Structure 1
Amino acid sequence: MGAGWVAGVTRAEAMAAGRAGPDTARRLATAPSLSDALRELAGTCYRRGLDVTAGAADAQRAVSEALVWQLRVLAGWQPRPGTVAVRLLASAFEIENTHHHLRALSGAPRRAPYRLGALSTAWPRLSRTTSPAGLRAVLATSAWGDPGAESPAAVVTGMRLSAAARTAANVPQAARWAAGRAALLVAREVRLTGLRLTGPAGRRAASLLGPAALRAPSFTGFRDRLAPPARWALADVERPEDLWRAEARWWHAVEGEALGMLRRARLDASPVVAAAAVLGVDAWRVRAGLECAAQGGRALEAFDELVG
């Protein structure tokens, strides 16, 4: 089986090595202006589709689109198990497409979706739906499963929990990341914003986090009763208001573990999963750098605390 991974692993290692990196993100954050930062970015893997005159939101969107393109290329070089792993790790982009489509169905301005190609799970069918009920029905008959309700918040949360559950089940190298991400999601949506998990979404959350955590009456009780694979993500977090620090720590942990996987590269899915992860972290860090540059350096302290 290893021989089938040679080209895919080689491509994964090369793409991970070609990321912008933390030093570049720091230069973006400390640039005199956003336009200076974008000229710096034009020499990186994010140059595809980049407009150096763009505003912050458009520039950050271009970074995300460049990441989608990188993940599509990475997936295209893999044997089928590697393609499946990359698709699961890229689930956030189909979720975002679906969210904006659902909002457009309610009258919000329509936005161009990410072009997913082989990263798509059900997007072509979802994009053709004409009502929230129809969208939910398509989700229910796809690998995403029924989100439990039709509101944008319920759909997004249900899809994120579905992605986490399927990643934990099918990508063992990323199972710990998926469980931690689900813990952060439920802590934010349930404990901070008051969303109620219904039906399938609640069952997926229970399978990832443990039923005891979901029954806990307080935030600290939720944190302390989390299943072991998820507990690390909320360690030492005392209040829901501090979740942003835990989310930053999640990104750092993913990057550290993924870089370790790359150093131990084998002819299997591990380097591919690791490459997809470090590319995702890199784009997150670059977007933060651009936001800091757009604010004229006023957010540099927050950047340093968030990104390190």
Structure 2
Amino acid sequence: MSAEWVAGAVRARAFAARCPGAEGAREIARGPTLDDALRRLATTPYARYTRAALGLAGAQRAVAAALLWQLRVLAGWLPRGGARLLVPLASGFEIANVVSRLPAPEGGRAEAVEPYRLGALETAWRSLERAGTLAELRAALAASPWGDPGDDTPWALVTGMRMAAARRVAVSVPPARRWAQGRAVLLTARELFVHRRSPTRSVRRDAARLLGARAPAAPSYPEFRESLPSAARWVLADVDEPGELWRAEAGWWRTVQAEGAAMLRQGRYGPAVVVGAVASLSADAWRVRAALESAARGGRPGEAFDALV
């Protein structure tokens, strides 16, 4: 094992150890105000970014920016191949950058936000950023590792990127393949049975690679569940109807957190430790973002937050 992998694994464990964790998130969620919650973050890795945050949306985005900073630092400690391992795991930030450039729904005005600074974790952002129209954005995606989303409508672009992200993680990050399959299950179920949208051919193709051909073509939610490969059924095991998919997503995050923590405990100095750290850090940031929302609502954690922690 190279010195870079050893150094990266040590740094990964150190980052994960500083997370507030479930108990810390509960304290943040109790508020009773957003300002109180932000003060509780003062001794956490999020403080560097949340200190100057304004409002709930700003605070949640600051938490995400802190996570991205940790991933960029971690990538800098890894050998070249290890840094490439993190690129698909951090792809959600590039998706968020694209979302921030899309037209607001129903003619509304989109809020201008500073793009996340991706550094070495970029997939194709510099090309995507230069796209001036939706058609140009689709063309830039098609010419990149993201692949063609299949259409240039806003929802098709975003859905295509999200499914491509699951595909890229499954192919490039073997320890995270189970999570990528789970993410593909949630995305497909939401598109088919909540939004009632027919995915593009590209999205169906990526979904079929992860879930088999039958599930993306299922005409009903029960048939979709039954058509899933055995390795992916865990995601919807206790979710009997599409309206409960939020429970499945909370369960997905709990699984990512638990399995990532196990990798940190059991793994040696190698890729599994780094992937476990990314999982733990990402799940913690998701949990803290949910805790901030609870605090902003008066410090009354609801059922959704309880399901997450």
Deviations 1:219-260 (A, max 9, x none): 011011112232211112110000000100000001111111
Q: Distance in 2 between matches of 1:250 and 1:66?
A: 22
Q: Which amino acid aligns with 1:25?
A: A
- Aligned counterpart, 2:237: 235
TM-score by length of 2: 0.95
State the distance in 2 between where 1:42 and 1:189 align: 39
- State the partner residue of 2:211: 209
Q: What does residue 99 of structure 1 align with?
A: 99
Listed as ranges, the gaps of 5+ residues in structure 2 are none
2:264 paired residue among 262, 275, 280: 262
Q: Which residue of 1 aligns with 2:187?
A: 185
Distance 2:232 2:153 in 1: 27
Paired residues for 1:277-296 under 5 Å: 277-296=279-298
Superposed counterparts of 1:1-308, under 5 Å:
1-51=1-51, 54-103=54-103, 108-298=110-300, 300-308=301-309
**Matched-pair identity in %:** 52
CA distance in structure 2 between the aligned counterparts of 1:70 and 1:39, rounded to whole angstroms: 20
Is the 1:292–1:303 Cα contact (8 Å) retained in structure 2?
no
Distance 1:52 1:133, change over 3 A: closer
Query: Aligned partners of 1:7 and 1:280: how far apart in 2?
Result: 20
**Gaps (5+ residues) in structure 1?**
none
The range that moved more, 281-290 or 71-80, is 71-80
Q: Calculate the TM-score normalised by the size of structure 1.
A: 0.95
What CA distance in whole angstroms lies between the structure 2 residues aligned with 1:293 and 1:107? 27
SS in 1 for 2:240: coil
Take 2:53 and 2:246, find their aligned partners in 1: how far apart are those partners? Answer: 30
Equivalent AA in structure 1 for residue 98 of structure 2: T
Residue 3 of structure 1: CA displacement?
4.2
Q: Give the whole-Å Cα distance in 2 for the aligned partners of 1:33 and 1:217.
A: 45
Q: Distance in 2 between matches of 1:174 and 1:73?
A: 20
Deviation at 1:109, TM superposition (A): 4.2
RMSD: 1.7
Q: How many residues align?
A: 307
- Within 2, Cα distance between the matches of 1:101 and 1:36? 32
